[in-house]
Structure formats: C-alpha cells, structure tokens
Amino acid sequence: MELNDANLQTLTEFLRKTLDPDPTVRRPAEKFLESVEGNQNYPLLLLTLLEKSQDNVIRVCAAVTFKNYIKRNWRIVEDEPNKISDPDRTAIKANIVNLMLSSPEQIQKQLSDAISIIGREDFPQKWPDLLTEMVTRFRSGDFHIINGVLRTAHSLFKRYRHEFKSNELWSEIKLVLDTFALPLTELFKATIELCHTHATDVNALKVLFSSLTLIAKLFYSLNFQDLPEFFEDNMETWMTNFHGLLTLDNKLLQTDLVSNAIQFLASVCERPHYKHLFEDQNTLTSICEKVIVPNMEFRSADEEAFEDNSEEYIRRDLEGSDIDTRRRAACDLVRGLCKFFEGPVTAIFSGYVNSMLAEYAKNPQENWKHKDAAIYLVTSLASKAQTQKHGITQANELVNLTEFFVNYILPDLKSPNGKSTPYSGMCFCCCCSQLPKEQLLQAIPLLISHLQAESTVEHTYAAHALERLFTMRGPNNTTLITPAEMAPFTEQLLNNLFKALAFPGSAENEYIMKAIMRSFSLLQDSIVPYIPTLIGQLTHKLLQVSKNPSKPHFNHYLFESLCLSVRITCKANPTTVSSFEEALFPVFTEILQNDVQEFLPYVFQVMSLLLEIHSNSIPASYMALFPHLLQPVLWERTGNIPPLVRLLQAYLEKGGATIANSAADKIPGLLGVFQKLIASKANDHQGFYLLNSIIEHMPPESITQYRKQIFILLFQRLQSSKTTKFIKSFLVFVNLYCVKYGAIALQEIFDSIQPKMFGMVLEKIVIPEVQKVSGTVEKKICAVGITKILTECPAMMDTEYTKLWTPLLQALIGLFELPEDDSIPDDEHFIDIEDTPGYQTAFSQLAFAGKKEHDPIGDAVGNPKILLAQSLHKLSTACPGRVPSMLSTSLNAEALQFLQGYLQAATVQLV
C-alpha cells in the first residue's frame, strides 16, 4: 500500500463504516481492514490519518485501530511470519513518541498504550533510546506533554510490581533508574512548587495533581522490588512531600494521589526491614488517626460514583483497579500495620469503631456514613489475610466478627432500603468465610430478596455475596451449602437472578451472571425442571450480546452457564441433547455467519460438549458444518485452535467411518490442518492430538495413501527444529500407531522412507527420550507400543536391529520404575503452550465444558507391566532360549530384578 491520498481516502471510508451500528455495514468494513493489515505501510497510513485528518472522529478511530493492530501483530512469534515489515517497525518507533506527545489527550492515551505494547517486546534491547527521548520532554514545561510521558512510563514500568525477581529484571530496572530516577525526582519537586504557586487556581491544580498521581504510581513501581540506592539517598525529599500531600486538605481537589501514597505506606509497613519506622506508639496513633480514619469515610466523590457510575464504583470496590479508592488503600494500610502491630492497632481503632457506631445510633437516616466507615474498619481489622476469591482467609482473633455480624450487619440485610445496606452486603462478602453456618443460612433468603433492589450496587453485592457463599467448602471439601438446604429458595433464587439482569445498567452484569453459573453448579439436578425456561432466557441473552460483545467476563460466565445446563440435563437423560441443539444452533449459526471472533472459541467448545454426548454417530446438522471447520481463516486465529482441535476430535470419535464414506474428499483438508499445526512450536501438540484421533478412529484403508507422507512431515520437523515437547508427542504418536496397526507395519513404514530408519528412530529417539514422556495415559500408550515392538516384530530378533532389543527393554523398565525426566535443554526457547502470541481472541477454557481424559487402549490392557511379562513369555515360547540369553548378557541387574517381579505377578516364566 503506497502512502498516497487515494489510499488515505479509502482507509478513511472504511474506518467510518466500522463505526456504523448496522452489522451489515460494519462487519464487511472490519473484514476489509483485516485483509489489508498485512500490507507494508498500512500502520503508517493509520498514523498519517490520526495526525492529519480533519475529522476528529476518524483521528480517534485511526488511533484505536492502530493500537489494536500493534497488540495483535507486534510480537514476533517463532516459526510464524513477521506480520509487520522491518521498515514499518523502524518508522513507527522513530515517530510514535513525537506523535503521541503532540496529540490531543484522547489520541495520546491510545498511542501511549501502543508504545507500552511495543516497549514490552522491544525495550530496552531493540529500543534503547526510548527513555532518553521521553525524559528530555520533562524540560518542555508543557504538562500535556509531561503527562503523556508519565502515562507511558507508568504503563511500561507497572509490570515491575508483578514480575518475578531475575537478573534480567534487575538489569532493566537499573537501566531505567540510571536514566529516569533523577529527572523524575526533579520533576516531582518542581511540580510540588507549582502546586504552592497555583494553590488557588483549580484548573492548574487539576493538571498538576494528575501529574503527581502518575509520579506517585511511578515511584511505587520503581521501589516495588526493592528500595534502590538513589531513592534511599533522596528519601527525605520524597517522604516530606508525600507527608505534605497526605495531610493536604484543599477543598478544590478530589484526587487519587492520596490513595497512591497510602498504598505506598501499606507496602512499606509490611516489610520486616522497615518495621522500626512504625514501632513508636505516637507514630502508630498518628497514622491511624490522621491517615486511616479520615480516608475510611464515604466521601462525596464516592457517593457520586455510587449514584452515577455504579459499574466503576463496584469494580473499584470489589476488585481494585488502577484508580483504587482511598478507602481501599486505607483498608490495605490497616492490614499491613496489623501484620506486626495487631494488638496496638486493634486497641486504637476499637475506640473509633465504638464512637462511629454511637453516632450512627443517634440518627441512622442521617449518620449512615459513620456506620459505613465502621464496617470497613472492622473488616480491615478482622482480616489478617484476604483474597479476592475467598474473602478473609485468616482472621484477627481480637475482633469478634460473629457478634459484629449479628448486631450490625444482619439488621441491615433484613432492612429493605437502609442506606448502609449495600456496604453491609460488601462486609458480608468479606467475612462470610469466618461466620458459623447457621448465620450464613439465615442470610441466604435475605440476600435473594436484595437481588430485587433497583440500586445496581445493592443487587450486584447481593449476587456477589451469594456467589461467594456457593463456593465455600465444608469439612469434606464438598460445598458448605448443600442443594437440599437451598431447596426452599431455588425457584426464587433463579427468578430473582434472571430478573436482576433486566434492571437498567445490569443487562450484562458479570456478577449476576457469575452467580447464575455458580447457582447451577451448586444446585445440579435441582435445576432440571427449570431448564426449558432458563435455556430460552440464556440463548436470548446470547443472541443479544453477540451483536456487540463488550463484557468478556459476562460472556464467559454466560457460556459456562450454558455448558452446565447441557451437562446437568444430559447426565440425567442423554436424549435431551437434541433439544439443546434445537435451542442453540440458530444462535450459533448466526455467530458463525457473522464471524463474531470473540465467541467462536466458546461456540466450538459447546458444540464439542454436545457432540460428545451423542452415541457413536454424527447428526446431519454437524456433518453439514464439517467442511467449514477446515477453512484456513479459522485456523489463523490462535484462540480458535484448541477448541477447534477438540471439536474435530469429537467428529472423528463419533463418526470416523461417516467422514471416510461421505466426506472422503475432506481428508486432505483434515491432514492440511495437521500439517499447519505441526509446523508451529506453539501448536504442534494440538497437531498431534488431531493426528492421534485420525489414527485411532479413521478406518485404516481411508488413510493408507497418506500415512507415509505423515511420517515424512514429522521427520522434516524433527530435523529442522526438535524440541522436548515435540519429541514427547512424537513418541506417543509412534507408539499409538504401533498399537493400532502393529509393530511390523511400524517397522515397514519407517524403512520404506529410508533403509534402516526404524533402527535409527529406536536408537536416537525412543531409547534415550522415552523417560521424558509424562501423563498416565501417554505412558501406558508408550509401554504397550514398545512391548509390541519387543515381542511382535520379527526384525527385532533376526536382523541388525537385534542389538537394540535389550536397550529398548531397559528403557521400558525405566519408564515403569524411574522418575520422569523433566529436564529441558538450555537452548530451547520455544513459546510455552499457554502463551498466546499477540492480541488475538485468546482461548478461554470453559471449566464446565471440560473433556474427560481419553484412553485409546482402555480396558484391553489393565497393567502394562503384566502385558510385558505375558508378551515376553509368549515370545520365549516361540523361540526357546533366546530371550533368557539376551537378558542375562546385557540387561542390568536392577532392571532384571524388576522384570522378575513382573513375571511373578503375571505367574509366567521365560523358556
């Protein structure tokens, strides 16, 4: 694509169409952009548009498209083509920082994200001058530019908070500190000075404090792994100014800076080597009174978010986010201080809690905020350890949670419209794991009734609390709450959950959908009578959200709920699978026809689940879809590969013969998929899954003509890039082939490719590498296959291959008796199986669509050791004297001892 006006105009038109609400206009435009994004200069055309277009909407659209293009394509994946040409990469890195800093804020944020994505891959090795280029802009004095630099630096450095310690990480942080620490400190001091100068100018202060917030975040990231020498030397500058900010009370400002500073304090006080800083009673009292208590209070900004942007309020409160609330930071600080000073801190706050509750009691309608703050303070104090999933996991023995629950939380849950009810719901979520079961059972019907509250926060917290309850485990690791205990409430629970999705603002409420999923999982058979109604509601919801998928978590729980409906109903009555197909297939067809990329991996998983329930036949509706599943475009998207492979495996398992008879012309397409997968280090294991199913389920004559070519492809890959993962999969396949077609067929196909190839494979791969095979079924396949090679292949007894017989037996006994060899050579740097390259629709495994592990050998062989003993006995009977002679001359004593044990267990002898 040339950089010219005609192409810019074409691109403008298609970008405009991608904003059209009509899918028939929008989707073809998206398809066009997808088809041209591999062309050279495409990203430069986007950058030109976002810089020079006269239409602001097109500029923003070009910026978002560019960022998503970078997400999808910047990472270079081994064995896959480079999706962005080197000249384009160089040009992007040369221009993007300037462009980002000179753009309006809306575009600046998109380009800042793009820089951080490129930086994650290229900084510092392939982009050494990035930091220097950014730091020089601090001198500009223009805070629009400065904030752009700070925002980009934050997105680059925040990963230091989560990375594991390594020399590579230390080297990178050192390089960053050498370039960035001093200019950041100077900027911090200068910005603080400007805040004093402009103390009465609200607009100037908003800009300056947004800079200070970003500076605080950067300080936190750069100090997270350890306290660097530079910051230790300049601690007075930072801490004096942080203290000033913590105690600042400027009515003109509502800022997130305080929560960042408190978060830093929380991080420091948990570390043993800074414990002495907090030991003084006056210091502790001062922090508790002047920092924590004021920031526990429900501020007017929180109230505004509660009323006007409840989704963001819930997200911050339940999960935390990059813009954490002050009270959440204060809660973290309480927990941090309790780590070393539990007694004194609990004593200090007990007085505050009592006075807050006393104030509330005077006038509950007006003083509800006092009770709200007390609730947060108590849950923070009570929690020694807490996780997002399980709430409080370790409690402070000095706080009586049960008593507090009975006196202050339960009355709120019983009240239909108390102002502090939502916060009591939140408190219940946190502390339910520490409450006796009878109180939890008492709370269930109350929470179910709160699902009907119109307040988004209130019905969301109720759903979240129920979901938490349903995941709690009892003494035998079964669910604490049983389906029998839920029986009186089942109908109301399901009704209220689905009704809650109808409230404005909750149509795609992920907490409600998660509670629906968890309810299905807990109730199991109890939901069967309601399924005809529920499946209609779920499919209707699926159809709605497929028009414009925007809530990934909601969508995931929706598909999980569909899987549970199918599993639970079909477990009781497998014939009902057809009624699910009737309900789901029209929606699935629409999703497939409209190529809703986010949903395809889910659809393939649900279809696999449905097909696997069928007895050994494939319905015509599935066969009609089969050719479409082999289309190359579907296999280009990484997220589609695992579910599509599983779906094709289900096709092969249920109807290998049907495919051979009525779709034989599609077998080359099936093998083409295998060939594509096997060429990729990231996906070769998926290629083997498919190949193993072809070998196991297809009629032998249907693939006879392709067998030799399959082995040639595998040998070419072994020669070009051998990895441990590939060898393990290769060994399982070779032995499965041997089990299916016999040892003679295996030897003949190897030697037909190249004379003596069979011996080379045994000597160079099977004998030295079989110890690496992992997994019970995989080991069983290898054991049975090797046993067949040892005892059913005449060439092993009468040719030059005979010298390999004892080493192969030794390797098999090693597979039985020695620990797995999990070593990986130092020079292997292939992508891990779970690593998803670039920004494509990632594969999200549906937990409730899980597939049982399949054993292709099954009951035919119970114990492979017994099979070996019986097979050796049979061989020795056929050629008396040979087997004992080979064993006594070259099998080591330990292996021989194990073998004797197998023979005794099988009650056979060698002759």
Q: What is the pLDDT of residues 381-429, one digit of tens each?
A: 876 544 444 444 455 566 688 888 888 888 888 876 554 455 566 667 6
CA 602 → CA 71, 143, 227, 355, distances in Å?
Answer: 22, 45, 45, 53
Residue 889 within a domain: no
Token pair of 52 as six digits: 């020079």
H-helix or E-strand spanning residue 706 = helix 700-720
For CA atoms 522, 528, 529, 532, the dihedral sign is positive
Token pair of 850 as six digits: 């899980």
pLDDT at 425: 62
pLDDT at 314: 82
Residue 589 within a domain: yes
Rounded-to-integer distance, Cα 94 and Cα 107, Å: 18
Q: How many DSSP H helices and E strands does the chain contain?
A: 47, 2
Residue 904 within a domain: no
Which residues make Cβ contacts (< 8 Å) with residue 602, sequence separation at least 6?
Answer: 555, 556, 559, 643, 844, 846
pLDDT at 362: 93
DSSP state letter for 384: E
pLDDT at 350: 87
For CA atoms 437, 438, 441, 447, the dihedral sign is negative
**What residues pair up with 387 in beta bridges, in sequence order?**
391
DSSP-assigned states of every residue in 62-101: HHHHHHHHHHHHSSPPTTS--SS-HHHHHHHHHHHHHHHH
For CA atoms 707, 709, 714, 715, the dihedral sign is positive
Q: CA-CA-CA-CA torsion for 194, 200, 203, 204, nearest 10 degrees? A: -10
Please say which residue of 380, 401, 428 terminates a domain: 380
CA 872 → CA 205, 741, 779, 866, 911, distances in Å?
Answer: 86, 20, 19, 10, 10
From the list 429, 348, 440, 447, the residue with the least C-alpha distance to 386 is 429
| Helices 805-817 + 893-905 axis angle, to 10 | 70
Which residues make Cβ contacts (< 8 Å) with residue 353, sequence separation at least 6?
Answer: 374, 377, 378
Count of other CB atoms within 10 angstroms of residue 289: 13
- Please say if the pLDDT value at position 538 is more than 60: yes
Dmax (CA) of the chain: 104
Token pair of 748 as six digits: 């003949």
Token pair of 341 as six digits: 């000073």
Q: How confident is the model at residue 656 (pLDDT cuts 50, 70, 90)?
A: very high
CA 62 → CA 93, 636, 905, distances in Å?
Answer: 17, 24, 72
From the list 195, 238, 247, the residue with the least C-alpha distance to 215 is 238
Which residues make Cβ contacts (< 8 Å) with residue 459, sequence separation at least 6?
Answer: 450, 451, 452, 453, 500, 503, 506, 512
pLDDT at 255: 57
- Please say if the pLDDT value at position 851 is more than 90: no
Q: Quote the number of domains for the chain.
A: 2
pLDDT at 264: 81
Percent of the chain with pLDDT over 70: 93
Terminal Cα distance for the chain, rounded: 77
Count of other CB atoms within 10 angstroms of residue 441: 15
Residue type, 95: N
Token pair of 286 as six digits: 């001062």
Rounded-to-integer distance, Cα 83 and Cα 778, Å: 36
Rounded-to-integer distance, Cα 292 and Cα 287, Å: 6
DSSP state letter for 762: I
Residue 83 within a domain: no
Q: For 585-618, what is each residue's pLDDT tens digit?
A: 999 999 999 889 999 999 999 999 999 999 878 9
From the list 317, 156, 336, the residue with the least C-alpha distance to 263 is 336
Count of other CB atoms within 10 angstroms of residue 178: 11
The answer to whether 292 touches 346, Cβ cutoff 8 Å, is: no
- Lowest average pLDDT, out of 190-204, 401-415, 427-441, 837-851, goes to 837-851
- Please say if the pLDDT value at position 665 is more than 90: yes
**How does strand 391-395 pair with strand 383-387?**
antiparallel
Length of the chain: 911
Question: What's the distance, CA 346 to chain centroid?
Answer: 38
Three-state DSSP at 683 gives coil
Three-state DSSP at 123 gives coil
**What residues pair up with 386 in beta bridges, in sequence order?**
392
For CA atoms 765, 767, 768, 769, the dihedral sign is positive
pLDDT at 369: 86
pLDDT at 841: 47
* Domain coverage including residue 594: 520-613
Q: For 678-731, what is each residue's pLDDT tens digit?
A: 999 999 999 999 999 999 999 999 999 999 999 999 999 999 888 999 999 999
CA atoms within 13 A on the CB side of 108: 16
Rounded-to-integer distance, Cα 747 and Cα 758, Å: 6
Three-state DSSP at 187 gives helix
pLDDT at 840: 41
Rounded-to-integer distance, Cα 845 and Cα 829, Å: 25
Token pair of 618 as six digits: 């494939």
- Please say if the pLDDT value at position 303 is more than 60: yes
Rounded-to-integer distance, Cα 691 and Cα 183, Å: 58
Residue 502's φ and ψ, nearest 5 degrees, are -85, -10
Rounded CA Rg of the chain: 33
pLDDT at 380: 81
Token pair of 335 as six digits: 């927990």
Residue 608 within a domain: yes
- Please say if the pLDDT value at position 834 is more than 50: no
The answer to whether 218 touches 150, Cβ cutoff 8 Å, is: yes
Rounded-to-integer distance, Cα 428 and Cα 409, Å: 7
Residue 530 within a domain: yes
DSSP-assigned states of every residue in 779-820: HHHHHHHHHHHHHH-THHHHSGGGGGHHHHHHHHHHHHHSPP
Three-state DSSP at 205 gives helix
- Lowest average pLDDT, out of 89-103, 340-354, 629-643, 717-731, goes to 340-354
Please say which residue of 358, 380, 402 terminates a domain: 380
**What residues pair up with 385 in beta bridges, in sequence order?**
394
Token pair of 655 as six digits: 């109807």
Q: CA-CA-CA-CA torsion for 883, 734, 720, 38, nearest 10 degrees? A: -170
Token pair of 680 as six digits: 């990729």
Rounded-to-integer distance, Cα 413 and Cα 422, Å: 9
From the list 534, 404, 391, the residue with the least C-alpha distance to 469 is 391
Q: For 754-809, what is each residue's pLDDT tens digit?
A: 999 999 999 999 999 999 999 999 999 999 999 999 999 999 998 899 999 999 99
Token pair of 350 as six digits: 């007990």
The answer to whether 617 touches 658, Cβ cutoff 8 Å, is: yes
Residue 218 within a domain: no
Please say which residue of 380, 409, 429 terminates a domain: 380
- pTM of the prediction? 0.80
pLDDT at 837: 33
Residue 392's φ and ψ, nearest 5 degrees, are -70, 125
SS3 string, 283-346, reads HHHHHHHHHHHHHHCCCHHHHHHHHHCHHHHHHHHHHCCCCCCHHHHHHHHHHHHHHHHHHHHH
Residue 399 within a domain: no
Rounded-to-integer distance, Cα 467 and Cα 576, Å: 28
